[in-house]
Structure 1
């Protein structure tokens, strides 16, 4: 009898003590994802490490917002190159400050064709639909409606401003053996307008730019297709060069080859590459990086200026 009473008392003391232990730990232990140290850690990371940090979970993504804002303030950053395709989400990323190749997972790029790159945004096409995508923050903005062409072939595009700007205008130029066709859409619009130009222009379009209400689609520094928003007239023109400390300049072959060597890809001629515009500060000329379009290739490449664009989930075109 005595033994039974002792066992009963010991059992309840043990349970009581254990419950106090659980209660005390529940009160003093915090979720490790909410550590106040996380923003300080993020601020000290390089860009590649910051990308991996942000991918851990939603809380770490939020904790890195200050570090991301600091990236936005970096001027004159050289472009990064993103290689993707092969029907999987694994992408190869090469940066301007490292000789290493980085593999990152971006499922949003599956099945897409990159038509334009500017302001840190990519303009992507997939199954008749177009959307803006920031490869670093994974922000996405859809353009409403269906693009007039269901298949992308000889298309080059440019947009006038970031898609979050009220001034954003998208221009997509396509070419056949007998004519050019330019499709344009303004932010807030739900349909495309088109303009045609009969021409036997035999050249490829390697550069695209927008400046002060005009679109420029340029062939290798000599000829271009020109469209002015006020005149609403698509024209073929020659390029005239003038000395200026501002405006646009072409990226040199040496600059391009240096980063392609870092990729160590067997044959870059088998990759369809989207060029970009590099925005430069302090009165320097913006730099145009060449397009190399061949839509028959499955492998896609895109030059882009590294930017973190953090937008609301409700952000729309």
Structure 2
């Protein structure tokens, strides 16, 4: 399927089967020594569909992606498992390092690294990340993209700017497959002012809603209860309600007890942020523009911050960028439009 490198594919079947053979429940498919001998003599790619489905159901996400790339029959047999992966409960985010070319580095929650090829990320900038979907901008075109399934959904209206500075922050209200999906992008117009751009699913053009004075750098963004929230590194908050289209600057007030009313959001703690950085294995101070994300929680959603630690191009890192995202596998109809 072109997702993993060729040298990785050579080990795919053996790794998949090692994972699968650890589960003794596979024996129910083999009734007696004669059946075992007959099955052992068959090619792996010629296994019965029901057996392939059972194997796919038992694989982790990375092994599952490799499984899908073996051949068309294995890909088809994995359809039920992919639906389950799409509906998985929230996990700690994984990290994707991209920007040099089509070759990217994927870092799983465990810290294990994988080299993958994603042509869609060559020359692109990730603006937002939510529930396994990335919002990408490349050469003036903006589109939603799922790194694992390679599903792509293009926005109809061209974005007003072909390039965006490192001070941008974006967020979308719901998955792009939802009828009520709204995208909001905040960019710097100058050192002290922000521009707010909004587009709804089905619209053919962006609406530049406001230009507002806001000198601080925005580090977190979220959508909750019909409104977009943008937070700086202090206690300032930019609030945009979709129903009344009212843009307000206010201060964050933290709830002191569960009885107090508030929005279900919280910031990542310093410990959580440092732990994430350790998993990247990058040198301290490494210049990297990073897109944050939202991780769903039981009592409150956690905001993983946007970060820009310096000008990557000037420091010789060749424009490397990163994005935190949740490991999901989204499938869409070929004729799906946003």
TM-score, normalised with respect to structure 2 = 0.78
How many angstroms apart in 1 are the aligned matches of 2:111 and 2:192?
44
User: Are 2:216 and 1:203 equivalent residues in the alignment?
Assistant: yes
Within-5 A mapping of 1:225-304 = 225-243=238-256, 247-267=264-284, 269-280=286-297, 283-293=298-308, 296-297=311-312, 298-304=319-325
**Cα drift, residue 220 of structure 1:** 2.2
Q: Which residue of 2 aligns with 1:151?
A: 163
CA displacement, residues 29-87 of structure 1 (integer Å, 9 cap, x when unaligned): 9993674232222112111111222233444332222222222333231111111111x
Structure 2: runs of 5 or more not aligned? 1-41, 313-318
**Cα drift, residue 296 of structure 1:** 4.4
CA contact (8 A) 2:45 2:73 kept: no
What is the Cα-based RMSD across aligned positions, in Å? 2.2
CA contact (8 A) 1:72 1:308 kept: yes
CA displacement, residues 225-275 of structure 1 (integer Å, 9 cap, x when unaligned): 221112223222211111465701111222222232222123564111000
Alignment counterpart, residue 66 of structure 1, candidates 77, 80, 84: 80
User: Aligned pairs, how many?
Assistant: 284
CA displacement, residues 145-180 of structure 1 (integer Å, 9 cap, x when unaligned): 210012111210000000000110000001221321
**Cα drift, residue 289 of structure 1:** 0.3
CA contact (8 A) 2:168 2:185 kept: yes
How many angstroms apart in 1 are the aligned matches of 2:212 and 2:86?
42
How many angstroms apart in 2 are the aligned matches of 1:270 and 1:189?
36
How many angstroms apart in 2 are the aligned matches of 1:284 and 1:191?
36
Alignment counterpart, residue 131 of structure 2, candidates 115, 119, 123: 119
TM-score, normalised with respect to structure 1 = 0.83
Q: Which residue of 2 aligns with 1:224?
A: 237
Within-5 A mapping of 1:177-216 = 177-199=191-213, 201-216=214-229
Q: Which residue of 2 aligns with 1:5?
A: none
Query: SS where residue 254 of structure 2 aligns?
Result: coil
Q: Which residue of 2 aligns with 1:44?
A: 58
Query: SS where residue 294 of structure 2 aligns?
Result: strand
CA contact (8 A) 1:195 1:233 kept: no
How many angstroms apart in 2 are the aligned matches of 1:235 and 1:208?
15
Question: Residues 33 and 279 from structure 1, CA distance in 2 versus in 1: closer, same or farther, beyond 3 angstroms?
Answer: farther
Query: SS where residue 150 of structure 2 aligns?
Result: coil
